[in-house]
Amino acid sequence: MTDDLKRLDLFKTEKPPCSLRFLPSDINVVLLGTYDLNKDTNTRTGSIEIWKFNESKFMKLHTKILNDGAILDLKFDPFDDLKFITCNSIGIITIWKIGLDDYDIELIDNINVFDQDDGEVLITSIEFSTVINGLLTFTGTNGQIGTLNLSNGDKSINVFDTEHDLECWYGTFGCIGGLENVVFSGGDDRKLIGHDLRCQNEIFQTNRIHDAGIVSILTSKGSNKGIGKFLNNGYGLWCGSYDDSLSILDLRVGLNQDLIPGLPPKIIQKLQLGGGVWKLIENPNHDKVLSCNMYDGARILDYSGDEVKVDKYFKGDHESMCYGGDWNDKFIGTCSFYDCIVQIWQP
């Protein structure tokens, strides 16, 4: 299969990259979180690399080496786009600030959300609420899902009573119609679980959507664009899995749009994408989603019609796991892990 996009640049990171995000305040700047395992000492280290587009290629500006814990995820605060967070392999969420003058980063705080007494717990994902300022969710290799409230002076941490049986890979918030109080999580146990923030209990759980672990989740924003014509009311949810498929779900049960506790969502559509669906990143300006497909590059998915369709395919020199990606109106960035490759594409 040949690439459908034009590649603008290729560069390599010092350590394996697993997270890539463009700076919202300057789309020419990209941040990369890296993860390196030393098998001899069984220790993990990481870094944050900052690159900027200069005329025709990306040039490295800074590298922040982290000797204590490797980075698994990096996300910008939707209410303060100069603030971002990382999560690492020793159960710590770190808050950072980036400056627009020299693009250097400043460490603001470290918050330990998982007790490491019972063995090392890796934080596998972090995600901000786009509705509630300062609220984020995190997931762990111990199967737990929790929230951290940065708007409180005490930085309160809550862990849900319902856990996954195996590693929990991803968690995210709903957005409208009461779903802003719901966290959806997916894990290696194939389960999709909905948790209610207000009572710490589950709304539903099901392991019937995918044949392997659920590793990515995208919720409908409920805007005019929405996720598909039939899901623009805000009750849409996408799930990506190790089984190479993407499931498009509708959380509604009937025409009254009420959620019935304990009843799993309805599968509207299922697509085979040729690789594990590790990341799903929506473009806020278009009816499209970027999908990072592990061992088979990436795809752009178009949901402007009645069904989700693959619009573009690109892989290039990604010969190992394509774990990270992000995009804006100027660039698409994707990174692959073991070969330390970052590729920049023209949307």
Contact between residue 317 and residue 330 where contact means Cβ atoms under 8 Å apart: no
In this prediction, residue 96 has a pLDDT band, given cuts at 50, 70 and 90, of very high
* Span 171-196, average pLDDT: 92
State the pTM of this model. Answer: 0.93
Of 114, 200, 190, 206, which is closest to residue 162 (Cα–Cα)? 200
Mean pLDDT value across the chain: 90
Lowest mean pLDDT: which of 3-17, 86-100, 106-120, 326-340? Answer: 106-120
Predicted pLDDT of residue 67: 87
Q: Which domains does the chain have, with CATH numbers?
A: 7-345 (2.130.10.10)
Q: What per-residue confidence (pLDDT) applies to 224?
A: 43
* Rounded Cα distance, 167 and 144, in Å: 8
In sequence order, what DSSP letters do the residues of 2-49 get, joined into one string?
A: --SS-EEEEEE-SS-EEEEEEETTEEEEEEEEEEEEETTTTEEEEEEE
Strand, coil or helix: what is 101? coil
Spatial contact of 204 and 194, defined as CB atoms under 8 Å apart: yes
Query: Reduced to 3 DSSP states, what percent helix, strand and coil does the chain have, rounded to the nearest 5?
Result: 0, 55, 45
Average pLDDT rounded to a whole number, residues 95-99: 97
Q: Does residue 210 surpass a pLDDT of 90?
A: yes
List, for residues 236-295, the tens digit of each pLDDT value. Answer: 899 999 999 999 998 876 444 445 555 667 888 999 999 999 999 998 778 899 999 999
pLDDT of residue 255: 43
- Give me the pLDDT at residue 228, please: 46
Q: What is the pLDDT of residue 240?
A: 98
Give the pLDDT of residue 225: 46
The mean per-residue pLDDT over the stretch 27-39 comes to: 96
> How many Cβ atoms from other residues are within 10 Å of residue 204's Cβ?
18
Neighbours of 336 (CB within 10 A): 27
Model confidence over 135-169: pLDDT tens digits? 999 999 999 999 999 997 789 999 999 999 999 99
Residue 89 pLDDT > 60, yes or no?
Answer: yes
Per-residue confidence (pLDDT) for residue 256, from 0 to 100: 45
pLDDT at 283: 84
Whether residue 186 contacts residue 238, with contact meaning beta carbons closer than 8 Å, is answered with: no
Q: Do residues 252 and 229 touch, judged by C-beta distance below 8 A? A: no
SS3 per residue for 116-165? CCCCCCCEEEEEECCCCCCEEEEEECCCCEEEEECCCCCCCEEECCCCCC
Question: Contact at 8 Å (CB) between 318 and 341?
Answer: yes
Average pLDDT over residues 60-83: 95
Residue from 92, 95, 43 nearest 72 by CA: 92
CA 79, CA 24: separation in Å to the nearest integer?
11
Q: What is the mean predicted confidence (pLDDT) over 97-121?
A: 89
Percent of the chain with pLDDT over 90: 75
Q: Per DSSP, what are the bridge partners of residue 29? A: 52
More confident residue, 42 or 5: 5
- Average pLDDT of the segment spanning 303-332: 94
Q: What is the pLDDT of residue 331?
A: 97
- Band of residue 175 on the pLDDT scale cut at 50, 70, 90: confident
| For residues 44-54, average pLDDT | 97
